[in-house]
């Protein structure tokens, strides 16, 4: 097989329709665009949100609440999950390896559960109850 012998698969290439080339072609005069109106003009492209004269969806829906642009979204981990780990030092990297947290998100430790062993926990944020439970178990809290 040579480069000059290559051909596209049969039926995959279709001749383009040349519109506006006389009445005999079947697509002459208005070129298949109908008679009048915005769609028949050249350069027409409808905005995706356009609904003709109808009130647009964005204006029909009520406005509610507000989005805080500076809000920090944390991945949360309960103390009960830390109890099951064998490590003495727990960091977000270790939690990521174990599949407890997702990547690229700060970690917050919450105080749900009990802690019996002494561990050092490094995280971006701690709840008050989590801090108390870790220090009660003679552990160490390190905020990153």
Model confidence over 66-88: pLDDT tens digits?
999 999 999 999 999 998 888 89
CA distance 119 to 138: 8
pTM over 0.85: no
Residue 48 has pLDDT above 90, yes or no: no
Q: From CA 23, how far away is CA 60, in angstroms rounded?
A: 46
Mean pLDDT, the chain, integer = 92
**pLDDT greater than 90 at residue 46:** no
Looking at residue 24, its pLDDT comes to 93
pLDDT over 90 at 126, yes or no? yes
Selected from 3.30.360.10, 3.20.20.70, 3.30.70.141, 3.100.10.10, the CATH number assigned to the domain covering 75-143 reads 3.100.10.10
Domain coordinates of the chain in residue numbers? 75-143
Instruction: Please report where in the chains the tokens 């981990």 appear, as a residue.
Output: 77
Two tokens at 38? 């915005």
Q: What is the pLDDT of residue 75?
A: 93
Percent of the chain with pLDDT over 70: 100
Q: What pLDDT is stored for residue 19 in this prediction?
A: 92
């Amino acid at each position: 097989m040579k480069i000059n012998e290559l051909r596209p698969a049969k039926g995959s290439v279709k001749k383009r329709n040349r519109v506006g080339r006389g009445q005999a072609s079947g697509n002459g005069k208005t070129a298949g665009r109908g008679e009048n109106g915005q769609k028949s003009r050249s350069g027409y492209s409808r905005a995706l949100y356009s609904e003709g004269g109808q009130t647009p969806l964005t204006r029909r829906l009520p406005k509610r609440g507000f989005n805080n642009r500076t809000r920090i979204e944390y991945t949360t981990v309960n103390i009960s999950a830390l109890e099951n780990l064998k490590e003495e030092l727990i960091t977000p990297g270790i939690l990521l390896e174990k599949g407890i947290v997702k990547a690229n998100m700060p970690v917050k430790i919450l105080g749900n559960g009990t802690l019996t062993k002494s561990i050092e926990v490094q995280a971006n944020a701690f709840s008050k109850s989590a801090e108390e439970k870790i220090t009660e178990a003679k552990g160490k809290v390190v905020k990153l």
